[in-house]
């Protein structure tokens, strides 16, 4: 696979709900997708596990890692990485940022995916995207670790947040994930610690499919789509044709 992509996920389940279809679809098309999980979501996104008797932080981390690895396998992920930075709140040292820069340069992605720029319900999400943009700039700098190959200018797509009307997130790209929906659903069901979201994100995919059809030509000639994901691009796109 000569083309690559990078998903930067604040917590271990985010990549599944928000861009699992994009991952599976691009893997099938020959793009090697690396997923970087900055935390396991162990403190703030593992309530079901914490309700079990005798639960500990390390047990929760181990369980969420197993879930993420199983989901990555279901999606066909090229590589999944974990930086274990902690969550709720997530904090980034200079060293933590440099590790992200190193991943960006190593992967050399054609495009990247991460969270919405604003999320008052989950500050880990919007902080992650702020750091991703900072690291993207650093990875492009010739003077950062001179001698290394610098990052190009990959598009950053912001995947759909949980409550879009509160986030200032406006999708401009709809992706038909119907051919790989069964893979995404299988990955969703790997997230046993957040079973309450399984049907929610199934409905999101169905709703976005309606938008895909409408924006591809509507009932008068639009492409039929059963499941889709939506994204907001950060940077202008350069294309030869629309």
- The residues spanned by each domain of the chain are 3-233
pLDDT at 27 (0 to 100): 96
Q: Residue 35: enclosing H or E segment and its boundaries? A: strand 31-37
Torsion of CA 200, 69, 11, 76, to 10 degrees: -70
Torsion of CA 192, 117, 92, 86, to 10 degrees: -10
Residues 6 or more apart whose Cβ sits within 8 Å of residue 145:
none
In 21-59, which positions are buried (b, 16+ CB within 10 angstroms) versus exposed (e)? Answer: bbbbbbbeeebbbbbbbbbbbbbbbbeebeeeeeeeeee
How many angstroms separate the CA atoms of 93 and 79, rounded?
A: 24
How many angstroms separate the CA atoms of 182 and 204, rounded?
A: 15
How many angstroms separate the CA atoms of 79 and 87, rounded?
A: 22
Task: Provide the whole-model pTM.
Answer: 0.95
Query: pLDDT of 143-181, one tens digit each?
Result: 999 999 999 999 999 999 999 999 999 999 999 999 999
Average pLDDT, 10 consecutive residues per value, the chain (242 residues):
92 97 96 98 94 96 97 98 97 98 98 97 97 98 97 96 93 96 97 90 96 86 91 89 70
Q: Are 132 and 234 in contact (CB under 8 A)?
A: no
Per CATH, is 3-233 categorized as 3.40.50.10320? Answer: yes
Place of tokens 């999980």: 37
How many angstroms separate the CA atoms of 59 and 120, rounded?
A: 29
pLDDT at 1 (0 to 100): 58
């Amino acid at each position: 696979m000569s083309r690559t992509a990078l998903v930067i996920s604040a917590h271990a389940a985010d990549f599944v709900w928000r861009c699992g279809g994009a991952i599976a679809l691009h893997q099938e098309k020959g793009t090697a997708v690396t997923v970087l999980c900055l935390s396991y979501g162990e403190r703030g996104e593992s309530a079901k596990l914490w309700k079990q008797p005798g639960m500990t932080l390390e047990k929760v981390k181990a369980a969420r890692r197993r879930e993420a690895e199983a989901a990555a396998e279901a999606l066909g992920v090229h590589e999944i990485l974990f930086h274990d930075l902690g969550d709720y709140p997530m904090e980034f040292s200079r060293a933590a940022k440099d590790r992200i820069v190193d991943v960006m340069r190593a992967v050399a992605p054609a495009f990247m995916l991460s969270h919405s720029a604003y999320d008052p319900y989950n500050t880990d999400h919007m902080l992650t995207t702020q750091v991703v943009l900072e690291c993207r700039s650093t990875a492009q700098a010739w003077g950062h670790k001179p001698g290394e190959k610098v990052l190009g200018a990959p598009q950053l797509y912001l995947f759909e947040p949980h409550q879009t009307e509160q986030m200032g997130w406006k999708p401009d790209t709809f992706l038909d994930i119907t051919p790989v929906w069964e893979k995404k659903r299988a990955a969703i069901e790997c997230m046993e610690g957040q079973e309450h979201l399984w049907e929610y994100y199934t409905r999101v995919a169905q709703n976005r499919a309606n938008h895909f059809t409408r924006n591809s030509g509507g009932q008068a000639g639009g492409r039929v789509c059963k499941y889709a994901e939506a994204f907001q691009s950060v940077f202008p796109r350069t294309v030869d044709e629309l």
